[in-house]
A and B are shown apart, each in its own frame.
Chain A
Amino acid sequence: MSIGTFDAFTSARLGIYAAQHGLNVTGNNISNINTAGYTRQRIDQVSFKAGAYDRYRSQLDNHVGSGALVMNINQIRDPYLDVRYRNTNADVGYSDRMLAGLQEIADILDEIGLGENPSDNEEGDGLLHAQIQDLADKLRAYQKEPSKANNDLVRTSAETLCWYFNEYADKLERLYQDTVKDFNDQVTEINECLTNIRDLNREIRDCEIYGDNALELRDERNRQIDKLSEYLHIKVVYTEEKIGGAQTVEKLSIYLDDDNPDPAEHKDESMLIDGIFGAQLNRLPKRNPDYDENDPDSLPYVKEDGTFTDDITKAALEDPDNFFLTISKLVDVKNQEWKGVTTGYEEVTDPGVLALLKNVNVGATAGTAPEIWTVKEKAEQAVYGFDFTPAAGTTWEVGDKFKIGDTEYTIGTEVPLATANDPEGMAAFIAGELSRDPRYVDKYDVAPDPNNPTRILFSATVDNAGAIPISDRPKITVSSDPTGKLTFGNRQVITAGKDAVLTPPTVADQVDPATGAETKTSFTQINGKWNRVTTEIQHTKEVDLDDNDIHGSLQATRELLTEKGEFATKDTVADIDENAESKRGIQYYQLSLDLLARQFADQYNKINVGYMQDKDGYYINKDGDQLLLPRNGGEPVNAAGALTDDQKAALIRGGYVLKDAQGNPIEDENGDQIPDLNAWLENTNNGAVKMGGYLFSNRNDRDDPTGITAANISVSHKWSTGEVELVPTYKMLFLEQDGVKVPHSTQSDNALHMVNMIEKSLVYDPTVLVPDAVSNKLFEGSFNGMFDKMNTVCGQDIRANNSSLNTAYSQLVEIDTQRDGVSGVDLNDEAMNMMQYQKAMTAAMRLMTVIDDVLDRLINNTAM
């Protein structure tokens, strides 16, 4: 045994080093116990042994290790938990953002516990809810006593109601605008994350190339990925990337995680990060349709002013209401575009092509579309020959043996002697035997060579003779020839044979419109077999995402901004999202409130504009005579009655039909035009006397009843100034003032309509606001009922999202705790490690002291 004098010092030193490393790592772990995203580290310690064994070493010379080496410092992470965490984080992000948005809507519309009703000394009647009833109360008073004072009270109440509509609409609009800002902020934050991850990938890659694990950078990258996963549901893939010299480094790629329910849709799996390349998210820009990638002067985007730009952030937005997103090209930090090439080989198994290969006589062309192969050159059969020698006069004798392939035959036993000595007989025997061997069966004709009686020829029977492998070519050898006179000659190639030569088709290059990937196809022969060579060149390109391609808080924000529920258009349901009708965002509530305001204004405007009637409800002219329809010989028209067929026909003849906004006649389900009595009454030539005026307008300084929304509903100018008042009745009995018919002072049958309208069941039709809406019935009921419905829908959506959020959040906390169980720092653990490394260091130091003592004794105190 030999001991290196300072080996023990080395062991002690390495032990100290290792323990020191351990303490450093432990200290680092403890220091970072509260660092967000920190993954606990540990040392990768191995036993070190110097020296080598050699053939001539002494058997007694036992090598001892030379201490411990710290090979590496690792992180401890569980990728599966990361995947689960990020998936769940997207769910949490979605539910949390959606819940927050809905909660903000509820904060505006939910009137639970609000409102004080001084007349009843009640609290909690709501605001808009109670105001509708206040208006009803004032209308009842007016109906009971249709005086100017009561008219003014109704107007004041209506003004307050309008104010509530305006206020709610304004708040919802502000919420919408805030949410737009939030959406843009989220896109910005996502882009920051993507940029950070891409840059971190690059740094980590560089570190790895130089042998550094870059643990802290990985922590930061994981933190960024976790953050990203809240905004977007992503899939993280780790692969090895060749960097040359047979060296690989880890490559991290991030994809969208296939959230579109349509399995044929793959844009929802688009790549966001590929190693050092990264993409950005942008609002879908308006593109230059004439953009030419190869023209340096051509610019891809259109600005608001119609000019072009290559800066996507300055481009005008395409379909801005739908908040569509596009993923930019993958570029590295130097803005160089990503490109990926993969080549695949696939043996041609097309039966048409194979048939062509076998059957050379099929003609000029054959095969299956679209790959049309053509015969360039026919196949030739291979012929192999074996010299059948005994020399002249010599013969096979009983006991001689020969082999066909591996099977041995004995003359006189398997082969009669006469047969053996007869070339034809022998050929027939061999042919029979070959037919039993699967390697040769049906591949060869066996016959004596007509030009050489001592040769047996094996002519290939298959067309692709050139393709017969050598192992399948018959081999006949003499295995036992006691006399030494007999032999089969070596196999001779009489005719080499060759395959049919085909001209492979030319396949045009293809470009995937979704991914931009180019696919080039060619054909080549490898080992005699045709292979289809497919080269796919993936170019990075902009990917325009569909409505449902993403999931997470960004999608929740998108849905808050875009989803309109029953107000969604048929085109949206057909082209964008088949479930759009059941998804409701801010716009649903804005439109619902608009529809309520529109319905309210339209109904009361309609009630307050009419035509003079007699006491029985028939329309009359200023002289009190009933109006006849048709004017000559027709019948009177009752305001509360149905038109006769003749009257309807007369209206249609006169062009008094319902028309759309463009002035085109509207047709019923039978394709018939719909008579419009109001248009007839409106024509002063027909003698009707118009009464009243609009109560509600789209501005309070106008009397325009069109396009009323919750945001603009106002008491009309004329009602405000008193030029128009509520019309208590259209029925003129027999009073006249200054030659004009006037109603009696407390007639109020029309005012009773107004009272009844408050509780009347009305259909709320989304197509009133959105002509192409998928639904034509949002709700049927009273004004209060409609507002109640909006709140109930919101409340139920909040409950559903709250439930989803609680579930997802609980899972997230659980997974995070589990993840922490793997990757987190534990003080007990670290305390143990600390003690362990402390002891180890103490022991190593002690070892050094002992060694020092020993050497001191040996060197200084050993008697010479």
Chain B
Amino acid sequence: MIRATTGGVLRSYRSNLMGAFIRDNAARNTVLTQRVFNSYAEDPAAAAKTFRLRKSRMETSSQLKICDDVYHKYQGAYACLQTVSELIDTQNSSSNVSTLKSTTLEMLNDPTGDARTQLNKVLDNLSDTIIQNMNQTYGDEFIFAGADGHNVPFTVEEKDGVKQLFYRGIPVDAAVPKVMTNTDGTKVTLDGAAATTYVRDGIDKVEASEVDALPALEVDANGDPITIGGTDGNVYYVKQGTLANKVTEEDLRNQVAAATGLTGEALEEALEEEKAKYVETSEFKPPLDDNVLSYYPKDDLVLKDEYDKVNDSVMRDENGDPYSFTVDGTKYYAAADQKDPFVTEEAYEQACEDAEKLEYLANEKRFVDIGLGLQEDENGKLIESSAFNECLSGLTFLGYGMDDDGDPKNIYSIVQRLKDIAAGVPEGEDWDTPTWEEFDRLVGKLENASSEYKTQFTNQSAGTEKLKNNYDLLEDNIYNLKEQYSNLEDVNMADAISSFLWAEYCYNAALKVGNSILSQSLMDYLQ
């Protein structure tokens, strides 16, 4: 610069003074706000990063709340399950409360049945208590209701003195009925039934041809077969249309005489030979009560016992017709005296549907975001490993459906069956062997169900532990996130104050310089 002018120097000074003041102000703001930056413009990268960290913190805090909630629900579940566990087979030393296991054992070992009725009541009460425990709530939510937390999960309906347990409206014992199938996989249906009815697998069957071979019989006015008592001690049925073939002894003699021309002794001998072809029957007819002998050709009569044995081997409907079905082209009749051998299509499908529902409900999932990296695939379907399945289904613990023996797998149902069996034995009487064996078998099933319960209980405990660990992890994350953005945002006060003091020092220095600029001029020295 060739020439420095008053205005130029002042302008330059003013600009520099302003700069010093701006820096001083910025340093002061830094100290006052205790923040390294106060806008994105000051440090866009750090600002964006802190907002990401803060967003993560808020997200984690929210997940922590959910995790905490689920954790406490699981803790509540644990308490319930622990109680149930104690009711099933763990003696509560403090209260001496009976358990299912101890009660059933007592019943099995009570041959005289003195305490059976009381024990039965205990059994019933215990099973009801178990259900009450499984219907506990956490807050407004039923703990073991799966995804229907606002409605009580287990309900008991009593019909004809029999209690049936329902889970969310589905009978817990529902199972797919086993039905007979042809080799082509089609279900075997009951012939001639009004609605499609399936034949249960495993029933006894009789080839229809065997029964169908029985002859038609003469019947009385009631439709009952006419029975003929043979002098040989057998009872016979008369084949249809042969009733008129009955003859008397005199008739026979005349026939033989006419045929042979014999008379006398010879005729009597020939008559005896002829009688051998007939069944001799006797009829006592009032008022004389004379024993009237009659003769039926042997071919016209059927031995009642033999006939009945075949005829009664099959189940019959109200019309007396046997229940028939065809398996792979062969017609069969259902063998007699079988329990519940058929199932209607409607009932079958309802059972299938119920079984399917039970299966679904037992494996029902309800995921919540507890900070496992919630994510969905490209079709919007949740990636299950990224969320926590907080669903607790009571079915999983108490069991559902039927086993291969047709026995229920649900603890409550088993107990109710035990109760019903025991109730069927008159008070004070001994067990009969089949009943005892059935009771014993079911006690074994109760043991199995109890074992499964413990397994599920253990799994639930592991879930509780996982939640606790996750909770701790989330807490740590929040702390770490706070620390991270604090490192980015918050000033080091020592640095900030030093910078501020330096800026203030510079500003003061600039002010002093200004004083000297304004005071010095040649004008001041003119005389």
A residues with CB within 8 A of B: 33-34, 40, 102-103, 106, 110-113, 117, 119-120, 122, 124-126, 129-130, 133-134, 136-137, 140-141, 143-145, 147, 615, 640-642, 733-735, 744-749, 752-753, 755-756, 758-760, 784-785, 788, 791-792, 794-796, 798-799, 802, 813, 816-818, 820-822, 824-829, 831-832, 834-835
Contact = CB atoms under 8 A, between A and B. Distances in A.
A747 B66 contact: no
A795 to B, nearest CB: 3
Interface in B1-50: 1-9, 11-12, 15, 33, 35, 37-42, 44-45, 47-48
A733 to B, nearest CB: 7
15 contacts: A33-B7, A102-B41, A112-B38, A124-B35, A124-B489, A130-B58, A141-B66, A145-B140, A744-B146, A746-B149, A749-B382, A752-B368, A821-B2, A821-B3, A828-B523
B521 interface: yes
Q: Which of A33, A753, A788 has the most CB of B within 10 A?
A: A788
A827 B522 contact: yes
Nearest to B526: A831
Please provide the 7 A-B residue pairs with the shortest distance between their CB atoms, ordered closest to farther: A795-B40, A820-B8, A745-B150, A798-B41, A744-B148, A824-B5, A746-B149
B169 interface: yes
B57 A822 contact: no
B61 interface: yes
A133 B47 contact: no
Q: Which of A110, A615, A820, A821 has the most CB of B within 10 A?
A: A820
Q: Which of B2, B62, B382 has the most CB of A within 10 A?
A: B62
Contacts of A834: 526
Contacts of A615: 360
B151 interface: yes
Given A140-B63, A791-B48, 19 more contacts: A33-B7, A122-B54, A124-B35, A129-B54, A129-B55, A136-B59, A140-B65, A144-B390, A642-B379, A735-B148, A755-B374, A795-B42, A813-B12, A817-B1, A817-B11, A821-B2, A821-B4, A825-B5, A831-B522
Contacts, number: 221
Contacts of A34: 7
Given A125-B58, A831-B523, A755 B51 contact: no
Contacts of A792: 40, 44-45, 47-48
B367 interface: yes
Contacts of B375: 756
B48 to A, nearest CB: 5
Contacts of A125: 54, 58
B6 A824 contact: yes
A133 B59 contact: yes
Contacts of A33: 6-7
Contacts of A760: 376
A831 B59 contact: no
A640 B357 contact: no
Contacts of B57: 120, 122
Interface range on chain B: under 10, 10 to 19, 20 to 34, or 35 or more? 35 or more
B31 to A, nearest CB: 14
A746 B8 contact: no
Contact of B51 (A40, A748, A784, A794): A784
Nearest to B390: A144
Contacts of B357: 733-734
A818 B40 contact: no
A826 B8 CA distance: 8
Interface in B369-428: 369, 374-376, 379-382, 387, 390
Contacts of B145: 745-746
Contact of A112 (B37, B169, B379): B37
Contacts of B141: 145, 746
A133 B147 contact: no
B331 interface: no
A479 B199 CA distance: 156
Contact of A120 (B11, B61, B140, B374): B61
B521 A759 contact: no
Interface in B90-148: 139-141, 145-148
A826 B5 contact: yes
A831 B48 CA distance: 59
Contact of A813 (B11, B51, B146): B11
Contacts of B55: 129, 133, 784
Contacts of A802: 41
A390 B5 CA distance: 90
A137 B11 contact: no
A477 B360 CA distance: 135
B47 A112 contact: yes
Given A33-B7, A820-B8, A828-B522, A144 B69 contact: yes
A169 B35 CA distance: 28
B48 A113 contact: no
Nearest to A120: B61
B168 interface: yes
A65 to B, nearest CB: 31
A784 B526 CA distance: 70
A106 B40 CA distance: 8
A111 B489 CA distance: 13
Interface string B493-516: 000000000000000000000000
B441 interface: no
A133 B526 contact: no
Given A113-B33, A137-B62, A822 B151 contact: no
Q: Which of B41, B59, B147 has the most CB of A within 10 A?
A: B41
B5 A829 contact: yes
B148 A820 contact: no
Contacts of A136: 58-59, 62
A821 B2 CA distance: 7
B52 interface: yes
Contacts of B59: 133, 136, 758-759
Given A136-B62, A792-B48, A825 B380 contact: no
Interface string B258-292: 00000000000000000000000000000000000
B5 A820 contact: yes
A527 B352 CA distance: 119
A144 B66 contact: yes
Contact of B387 (A40, A133, A752): A752
Contact of B374 (A749, A756, A794, A799): A756
A744 B147 CA distance: 6
B366 interface: yes
A752 B5 contact: no
A785 B35 CA distance: 22
A759 B387 CA distance: 14
A463 B314 CA distance: 143
B70 interface: yes
B342 to A, nearest CB: 26
B376 A795 contact: no
B12 A817 contact: yes
A214 B521 CA distance: 30
A129 B56 CA distance: 11
Contacts of B4: 821, 826
A834 B159 CA distance: 127
B523 A745 contact: no
A348 to B, nearest CB: 53
A828 B312 CA distance: 144
B58 A117 contact: yes
A34 B54 CA distance: 54
A203 to B, nearest CB: 26
B317 to A, nearest CB: 34
A798 B43 CA distance: 10
A119 B61 CA distance: 9
Nearest to A76: B3
Given A735-B169, A749-B382, A817 B366 contact: no
Q: Which of B39, B353, B360 has the most CB of A within 10 A?
A: B39
A129 B58 CA distance: 10
A125 to B, nearest CB: 5
A796 B168 CA distance: 59
